[in-house]
Copies of this chain bind each other. A is one copy, B any other.
Amino acid sequence: MPKPEVDPTVQLELSVDRSSPVPLYFQLSQQLEAAIEHGTLTPGSLLGNEIELAARLGLSRPTVRQAIQSLVDKGLLVRRRGVGTQVVHSQVKRPLELSSLYDDLEAAGQRPATKVLVNTVVPASAEVAAALGVAEDSDVHRVERLRLAHGEPMAHLCNFLPPGLMDLDTDQLETTGLYRLMRAAGITLHSARQSIGARAATTEEADRLAEETGAPLLTMQRVTFDDTGRAVEYGTHTYRPTRYSFEFQLLVRT
């Protein structure tokens, strides 16, 4: 009786383009990821062993391993010594990226709207100065925005940026997200320190978000760093919990 579980990668049309500037391991990992996403590689199915896979593609084993390893790091695959590599059963979505509210909403097909309330330069308060690592009372950008979905206010975003980092055009801020603008300005986002909490809305906050005074609000504070370690953004956000919650997938560090 033939084994019902044959190497599913043989039916996959895997191929690499050596003339492309895209690294070979990356080409392979993308194709495998697409196959998992598409369902061609079903959860629990075993990939053929690395040696054979390398031979079939005309690659070396280290290259194939690098491709597989990147997917293991993403949580899509699990390796077992003596057994093989298989697709994880659970549907992993995204391992918690450093995403902006704008991107989140757009991904959900919500077509977010933004209203810029404030876009100016102010002296840094002690709190802002400490977060951004600049001198107190030195100039920093201050941007205050209201994010709406379906015409309803969803969140109030207050951000501070160090001076000289980038131009903050109000029109651009109304049509796209802050992170996207920063990336476009050549800033490489690296890490962020976040704090998520809740509190009762003040009268002012309630007015802004069309809630009642004392209604629960979801709060988020974040300092974002670029790859040189500079703080490039400090934000204090409040969300309407009936309209928004933080959802993310996270992996165990190994």
Contacts and interface: CB of A to CB of B under 8 A. Distances in A.
B200 A216 contact: yes
B98 A241 contact: no
B216 A92 contact: no
A196 B196 contact: yes
A32 to B, nearest CB: 17
A253 B97 contact: yes
B217 A252 contact: no
Contacts of A43: 229
Nearest to A89: B229
Number of copies: 2
A242 B197 CA distance: 8
Give chain A's interface residue range (CB within 8 Å of chain B): 35 or more
Interface in A179-196: 189-196
Contacts of A197: 218, 241, 244-246
Interface of A: 43-44, 73-75, 78, 88-90, 92-93, 95-98, 189-200, 214-218, 225, 227-231, 241-242, 244-253
14 contacts: A73-B73, A78-B228, A88-B190, A88-B228, A90-B230, A98-B252, A191-B250, A191-B251, A197-B241, A197-B244, A197-B245, A197-B246, A199-B216, A216-B216
Given A89-B225, A95-B191, A192-B249, 15 more contacts: A43-B229, A88-B225, A89-B228, A90-B225, A90-B229, A90-B230, A95-B253, A96-B250, A194-B246, A194-B248, A195-B245, A196-B218, A197-B244, A197-B246, A198-B198
